[in-house]
Structure 1
Amino acid sequence: MRAALLALALATPAAAAPCGGDFGDFLAAMQTEAIAQGVPPEKAAAFFKGARQDQKVLKADRSQGVFRKTFLDFSQSLISKQRLSTARSKSEALNDIFTRAETDYGVSRGILLAFWAFETDFGQIQGDFNTRNALVTLAHDCRRPEIFQPQVLAAAQLHAMDDFALDTTGAWAGEIGMVQMLPKDILERGVDGDGDGLILLKTSQADAILSGARMLQHHGWRAGEPWLAEITLPDSFDWSLTGLDTEKPVEDWLALGATPRKGPLAPGLNASILLPQGRKGPAFLIYPNYRVLFEWNKSFVYVTTAAYFGTRIDGAEPYAAGNPDPALGPDEMTALQEKLAALGHDVGKIDGILGAGTRTAVQKEQARLGLPADGWPTRDLLDAL
């Protein structure tokens, strides 16, 4: 049944049900679409029967303030000696599983352990939101129905395969299990790592770890390549070359003065220089695999912290924190985004969060105003604008 349902799901695009209207009508439309995608009618009826909206999910969706933290604050709140020790112990205890992840999918255990640690504290805290209700709530809401309606249909398909119980719980956004994957990813890329015929990311460490590895491989993870390395840069460096928009061969960065803090860099690869908090904070060289991590989580500060923690698990030294200029407060950041947007820059949603679009706009305005163009917003820049 899994193969047949998956084939239908991939071949039949989801027809969007009307968002925001009567919830009962919405569920009926989604049930019809699930049946069209091959879910047996009795299974579809059972899946949607009793589904309800969860206002706590909507509240969580609109208040993601944790991502307003700086990289230093966020990383120091998530990374501790205990968590690092636990990660390395898990690596040793589950060596066979991580070796399979590395052999079959080419994904380093360091990055898998980092996400496992941050997502659920190695499976201990997997979330207590009813997953079905969270998904139908977000699919009915008109903010991102195109993202969550396919996830509802995927969950219905998993339910028909006995891989999704109606009382399944997880994160508020519908992610399930130890590494917090969405139903569509589980349906299309889940791995039965323990050979029991089921894919259960909540209870099986092998299923969770190998499914996460397969997902990263699907999104372009390159076997045997690094993802991030800490570097130092000379004070005379051209800061306008930093940021995710500029890529150069590693050899070119070395010629411009980039120096690894420990161990060699990876010759032959293209890379970018990342300054999470500007030229006075930590500096990293990031490789193509770093960009793949945004398929797991869209937050810049989260991805960078996970990437850094992965290198620590693999033996890297703690970063040199430096002494960055103070971060703008939420109101100041919002004001800055408004000014940048008025100048014609695409900063995305004006939300007080320093995302990729805002960083790029900041760097362009710094260069225009003759300030060090390191992409880190300061009060000097805000005042100059």
Structure 2
Amino acid sequence: MLLNRPYSVILAVTWIAAVCAMASSAAFAKPSTEFSAFIEGLWPDAKVAGVSRKTFDTAFAGVEPDLTIPDLDLPGRPKIDNSGQAEFTKTAVDYLSKSYLQGLAVQGRKFLAEHKAALERIEGLTGVDRYTLVAIWGRETAYGTYHPPNDAIRMLATLAYTGKRKDRFREELIAALVMLQQGIPRSDMKSSWAGAVGLTQAMPTEYLKFAIDGDGDGKIDIWRSVADALAFTAKQLEGKGWVRGARWGYEVVAPPHADCSLEGPPDARPIGDWVRMGFKKASGNPFTKAELASDAYLMMPAGAYGPAFLAAQNFRVIRLYNTSDLYALFVGNLGDRIRGGGEFVTAWKSFSQPKTRTVEGVQSRLKQLGYPMDKIDGKIGSNTRKQIGLYEKANGLSIDCWPSERVLAHAESQAAGR
């Protein structure tokens, strides 16, 4: 508050605010002309995709970019840690909140009973189990109670215009225009900031590929028909390689000689090999013969500070639906809880989520030191954790596979001495 500050300070702050406001207005004025030119440049692609000029013009009437959303490439804009997404800004223990998961599981079991016939039909058609489908809907919109507030066309146009992944969102924007051309009401095109639509929040390109009539009424309505929305989600998972009758993965206990540097898809191997290395189900139950023959990779979302999992093919498929280890683990675990189990056996330890600049710094320095770091993006994926573990092991550091100031300082000193 300014009320208790000297008048001169108030004047100074007011002047600074006015200058910032003028600069902001100037920054927004320039993109208006450029944005209009960008939109017009979309027309050839939209026309080829079958969009009429009337649909095109109506879709963009009055649309201006929303430069407040995450994941934009704007000069001079302070960087938002990991685009503000919970999957990248929360620790695993916070993201996988026990109370939140338990609440969604209770709701999920009730929902499962109410939509039993439709879920059984969809499961039979696609092979995707009902528990995973209900878990996805629970995670995305809390079983339909959350209604995204944004205009999908505006969000996608902004991201295609000045986002960090312009080409991807240009494709999504054209797909959204095709949806309008097919008769989807503009009022239904409400989305997250990233343009995902419908009860289970999916991108327009996915809608065009996989949306089906799930309730048999001759229409596809992923906004109001639960059966249509769930059938659409199931078709997406089926199309991405879902294995019928298989689990997403297993919480495991690692042997003393193993550590988190074994993590990641490149080290996937038959579960039987993990068992021979000393890994066991955390539940104490043995793996079945079929499970032992299936491939899985070690996934430790908190490095050495939490449970370990063997992530199987269906985990990979869920991750293709939303590219985050924590998201896939949340869905898998929520599905297990709806089924009647799902409590984590290994306790989470105390640890903190590093700043994006710390993660980027660790990634950059390890790449400089010769570690295969494919992305410098400030996101803590399995490869980042793995390479940190390998670096710690090679340099005699305690192994936690976690991007910390400790690891960053050590890697910077190593890089400086080269």
Q: TM-score range by the shorter chain?
A: 0.7 to 0.9
The correspondence of residues 1-385 of structure 1 with structure 2, limited to 5 A, is 22-58=34-70, 62=80, 63-64=83-84, 66=86, 67-76=88-97, 79-166=100-187, 168-237=189-258, 239-262=260-283, 263-265=285-287, 266-324=291-349, 326-327=351-352, 329-330=354-355, 332-347=358-373, 350-371=376-397, 375-377=401-403, 381-382=407-408, 384-385=410-411
> C-alpha distance in 1, partners of 2:89/2:160?
26
Aligned 8 A contact 2:122 2:214 in 1: no
> C-alpha distance in 1, partners of 2:91/2:193?
23
Per-residue deviation, 1:368: 1.2
- Number of the residue aligned with 2:24: none
**Mind listing any 5+ residue stretches in structure 1 that lack a counterpart?**
1-18
Bigger shift: residues 32-41 or 366-375:
366-375
> C-alpha distance in 2, partners of 1:370/1:68?
29
CA distance 1:215–1:234, change in 2 (3 Å): same
Aligned 8 A contact 1:20 1:141 in 2: no
> C-alpha distance in 1, partners of 2:56/2:394?
58
> C-alpha distance in 1, partners of 2:34/2:98?
42
Q: Once the two structures are superposed, what CA deviation does each residue of 1:104-160 show, in whole Å capped at 9, x if it has no partner?
A: 111112221221111111111131001111111111115212111111111111111
**Mind listing any 5+ residue stretches in structure 2 that lack a counterpart?**
1-30, 74-79, 412-418
Per-residue deviation, 1:290: 0.7
Task: Classify the secondary structure of the residue corresponding to 2:310.
Answer: strand
Aligned 8 A contact 2:70 2:84 in 1: no
Query: What is the root-mean-square deviation in Å for CA atoms of aligned residues?
Result: 2.6
Per-residue deviation, 1:227: 0.9
> C-alpha distance in 1, partners of 2:106/2:229?
21
CA distance 1:198–1:32, change in 2 (3 Å): farther
The TM-score, its normalising length taken from structure 1, stands at: 0.86
Specify the code of the residue in structure 2 equivalent to 1:363.
Answer: G
Whose helix proportion is higher, 1 or 2? Answer: 2
> C-alpha distance in 1, partners of 2:170/2:157?
7
> C-alpha distance in 2, partners of 1:79/1:280?
20
Task: Count matched residues.
Answer: 367
Bigger shift: residues 94-103 or 331-340:
331-340
Per-residue deviation, 1:296: 1.3
> C-alpha distance in 2, partners of 1:323/1:27?
48
CA distance 1:232–1:356, change in 2 (3 Å): closer
CA distance 1:140–1:21, change in 2 (3 Å): farther
The TM-score, its normalising length taken from structure 2, stands at: 0.80
Task: Classify the secondary structure of the residue corresponding to 1:79.
Answer: helix
Per-residue deviation, 1:361: 1.9
Pick the structure with greater CA Rg. 2
Percent identity (aligned) = 29
